[in-house]
Amino acid sequence: MRIGELARLTGTTERALRYYEEQDLLRPARLPSGYRDYAPSDVETVRHVRSLLAAGLPTHLIAELLPCMVDTGDGLMPGCRSMLAPLESERDRITAAIDALTDARALLTGLIDRTPADDSEYDAWIAARDAA
């Protein structure tokens, strides 16, 4: 199938599919005309790639992970124990990012909570500061 058909079937863009090919996540055949020719199994591959990207995994890890992924019908499962350590490392990276975002949200919430309802409180604070 051609790239437009694969994009339509997977709900992604042709640009994304070309990127997946650049990242060695897809390997379409080439027709004599130079057009990409995708196999029917590439529909599932793209769905798996998108699922793993949504989980926060980088493409280089997805490229390593795809060959040993098993679709259980209830989601993906790594079939290679060797992938456990990189997956745990990615989970730790994401957890650290969540913690940093949680801290940033708390700081913003504090700023929002301390914002006066009107400018009179701010004006009084400026006047007091300038008088000192």
Domains of the chain with CATH codes: 1-79 (1.10.1660.10), 81-132 (no CATH)
The pLDDT score that the predictor gives to residue 27 is 95
CA atoms within 13 A on the CB side of 21: 16
**Low-confidence residues of the chain, pLDDT below 70?**
none
Name all contacts of 128-131 with Cβ < 8 Å and 24+ positions apart: none
> By the 8 A CB rule, do 79 and 69 touch?
yes
CB 48 within 8 A of CB 66: yes
Q: Tell me the whole-structure pTM to 2 decimals.
A: 0.76
Task: Give the model's pLDDT for residue 121.
Answer: 81
